[in-house]
Structure 1
Amino acid sequence: MKSFSVVSLLAFATYVAAQANGGPPFDPAGTGNVGNGAGKQFIGGQCLSAADCGSGCCAGPSGICSGVGAQTQAGKTGCGFGGGGAPAAAAPPAAAPPAAAPPAAAGTNSAGGPPFDPAGVPNVGNGAGKQFIGGQCLSAADCGSGCCAGPSGICSGVGAQTQAGKTGCGFVSGSSSLTGAAPPAAAPPAAAPPAAAAGTNAAGGPPFDPAGVPNVGNGAGKQFIGGQCLSAADCGSGCCAGPSGICSGVGAQTQAGKTGCGFVSKRFVSRKRAAIADLLE
């Protein structure tokens, strides 16, 4: 408990100072993941070493978790940021840096399209639906978004399936380098359900990613950035941005036509009133 307090205080103390070194701004929603070496920090959140980042890449000059393919973009100076003296408090995780595994990629994007994020290697071809956007896939069954896009097989948001050289959802690998990867290839139809969106962004702002339909309005905090929300309780980032209700990173809450965090849908309010009425009966 004492070790956790030291790391937390150090992370808080360095949050403002570290940004002065340059690079993109940290997403404040990731403050709780700084310096604990648990590998739970998302891309855009502050890090003290690679052990903090789910992507395995803590990029300089200020220490920000980055996708490996984007480690030198937007003012970043590449993976390998060490984070001062903080790793001493998080010594156990530092002994097993997750960034060492990705070089043994499951495949290459030789057919074209954006590069795979090597941090997703463990999720390739197992059909468990755990692969994140940017990771390699052999079929839609690998992807949490339900979309495995061609031409090389990369998990994509449905709304971005034809961007950056991608050729659309529905990719199925013809021959896998992984044993036991054939069964997932029979599951491309899994990409179809997202088309039935829970709502529309008629009020304005960026389009919703239809892959997030199951997370709308349940208050479970599982909706990803880009998915529709009825209130902040739906969003993993804690920010449901107007004008239509879309989960957003706190640092990007007013970008792309968004009007800031704090959106609450009339449907959410009506549902709460109905629940109160049931309790009073």
Structure 2
Amino acid sequence: MKSFSLVAVLAFATFAAAQTNGGPTFDPAGVKNVGNGAGGQFIGGQCLSDADCGSACCAGPSGICSGTGAQLQAGKTGCGFSSTGAAAAPAAAATTAAAATTAAAVNNAGAAVASTASAGGPPFDPSGAKNVGNGAGGQFIGGQCLSDADCGSACCAGPSGICSGPGAQLQAGKTGCGFSSSAAPAAAPVAAAATTAAAVAATAPADNAATGTAVAGTATAGGPAFDPSGAKNVGNGVGAQFIGGQCLSAADCGSGCCAGPSGICSGVGAQTQAGKTGCGFVSRRFISRRASQLLI
């Protein structure tokens, strides 16, 4: 009994020390996956190295499994965290209680933002209240969402609507991507994006100034319409294009996924949604330009 108590005290001390370093709070349901290097830890659970995480991204400063697209959000300092500490004990109940008592907020779209996932699943990160329901793809993993369009990962998981890494969409009580709330203003942003894209196609210069690459205003071969504000990132291969922007190859996309049939940067979990045909799209213009460079 004394030995068990000592182990518990040491484990709790490790957890407390890690949590005070900053970053989001750990999901206590993931305690069993900490430090075993089996890749079983879900996003939001504590980790001691990348090997613990299903996403292969253990983010600093405290060691929390993160989606790679969210590794620098909510106070995180990037993948690659490594600790020599012991496995952590369950999270302090005070953390969950604090989240549960956070007052309801209202974002700029007028959608009510709950402080906890009242229908089940993990609690929401209250710092993401400003990203709920606007369909702009700015919500980080762990923040509340009203539809997939809110999430940078393109995965709004049930039962309550929380942005999730696609690989963790069924973990910690979540019921999978595709959650949609009746409060979500889904139709308007899509229609607006299509209209804006068409307008830009009619008025924008034919070439991308940085690369000389023709940039289409819409996805003429099918799939979602391109976000015209990403025109400057097309074809330069520096990984600066955001999800929804046009791409000529995966090298353009911050997500590492250029999806067919027209070439649009996509979250990997959403690569076959909304008419997309999967990652790996490469434009003939990209191939032609590469061939020309080799001949110089």
TM-score, shorter chain, exceeding 0.5:
no
TM-score by length of 2: 0.40
Larger Rg: 2
